[in-house]
Amino acid sequence: MMSTRLETNTSKRALPTLGDFLQLTKMRLALSVVFSALAGYFLAAPTYDAGVILYLFLGGYAMVGASNAFNQILEVKRDAQMKRTQNRPLPAGRMTIGQVIPL
């Protein structure tokens, strides 16, 4: 009787670095959006709440970072062809789409 087995990728891939994560989420762009949101909060709020500021910072970065990461998933083939974008984490192979989606 012939047995079947599932093939798994046994190649050892290094874990993504913090730098890969920051490049994927486009940290400078995300922080500029968060800075704008925080400026609006400080201008409009009659009082300041540290919890709100923290949530605004984290939530804002998460939303902008997720949209940037999703865009890079959609553009991975084009990014691999362009010299300027070839070294991004997805086209360079430092991260997989499976690692990016949960972010």
Question: 79-95: per-residue pLDDT in tens?
Answer: 999 999 999 999 999 99
User: Per the domain annotation, does 33 fall within a domain?
Assistant: yes
Number of folded domains in the chain? Answer: 1
The two tokens of residue 87 are 């070294």
Selected residue with higher pLDDT from 72 and 2: 72
User: Per the domain annotation, does 11 fall within a domain?
Assistant: no
Confidence of residue 9 (pLDDT cuts 50, 70, 90): very low
Q: CB of 65 within 8 A of CB of 30? A: yes
The range of the structural domain enclosing residue 72 comes to: 18-100
Q: Is the pLDDT of residue 8 over 60?
A: no
- Would you list the DSSP string of 45-99? -SS--HHHHHHHHHHHHHHHHHHHHHHHHHTHHHHHHSTTTTTSTTTTTSS-HHH
Question: 34-77: per-residue pLDDT in tens?
Answer: 999 999 999 999 999 999 999 999 999 999 999 999 999 999 99
Looking at residues 16-31, what average pLDDT do you find? 94
Using a cut of 0.75, tell me whether the model's pTM lies above it. Answer: yes
